[in-house]
Amino acid sequence: FEIAEEMAPLLFLSVVGGLIWLPVTHAYASGDAVPVYTRAQLGNARVDWTEPSIESFPRYLVDGSVAFAPNFVPESLDADEEIKVAFSFDEHRFVTPWLSLNGRDRVSKITFTLRYFDDDITDVDWALEVAPDASKKLDVLLLYRWEEDRSDDTPWSSNSIVHLAFLVPVLYFVMYTLFASDDMFSEKRRA
């Protein structure tokens, strides 16, 4: 088809344009590891974001718990030096504030409530349990709980919307080609 050759760039751009958005959808399946990062502050010095072992990652839609022992604590720790940690989930989409691991209000347990809609994480909240001042352990129990987010106002998943946005230009191209080829053949029949 001559028309199809003329429309090839439009089809190519439609396909590429649709495929570009696919990684943006953050699609998870049940049991997938959700990336988590930690960073620390020791006194006035900060440590960059690091990825802990995969065993400490939450699993999508799977409630769980894991003991978190910071590996960035120096052996010769000054008693007055405060150690803080922050957590980041889903490629830094959700970040906690600094949480103290020692000192007067030492955190002993963090319950993360991860909210989801369809196949994506929509929000992360946390609740802290503080240990008595006498406790000098730096281990923290991390609890992961999943809740369905009912506040989303669309019944469509983000994947469905992206795929529909990809499908519309392709259908337009197909319909245009079919109607244009009918016109082309009818002109040849008249001649």
Q: Tokens 């990652």 label which residue?
A: 57
**Please, what's the largest Cα pairwise distance for the chain?**
98
For position 1, what pLDDT does the model report?
Answer: 47
Three-class secondary structure of residue 18 per DSSP:
helix
Taking the chain (191 residues) in runs of 10, the rounded mean pLDDT of each run is 60 66 68 93 87 90 91 68 89 91 79 92 92 69 93 61 74 75 58 57
Question: How large is the angle between the packed helices 2-20 and 158-190, nearest 10 degrees?
Answer: 180
Burial class (CB in 10 A: 0-12, 13-18, 19+), 121: buried
Q: Tokens 């409530």 label which residue?
A: 113
Q: Residue 68: what are its φ and ψ, rounded to 5°? A: -110, 115
What DSSP assignment string belongs to 21-32?
TGGGG----TTP
For position 156, what pLDDT does the model report?
Answer: 61
Residue 56 neighbours by CB distance under 10 Å:
18
Could you tell me the two tokens for 168? 């519309």
Q: Residue 182: what are its φ and ψ, rounded to 5°? A: -65, -45
Residue 122 neighbours by CB distance under 10 Å:
18
For position 61, what pLDDT does the model report?
Answer: 96
For position 10, what pLDDT does the model report?
Answer: 67
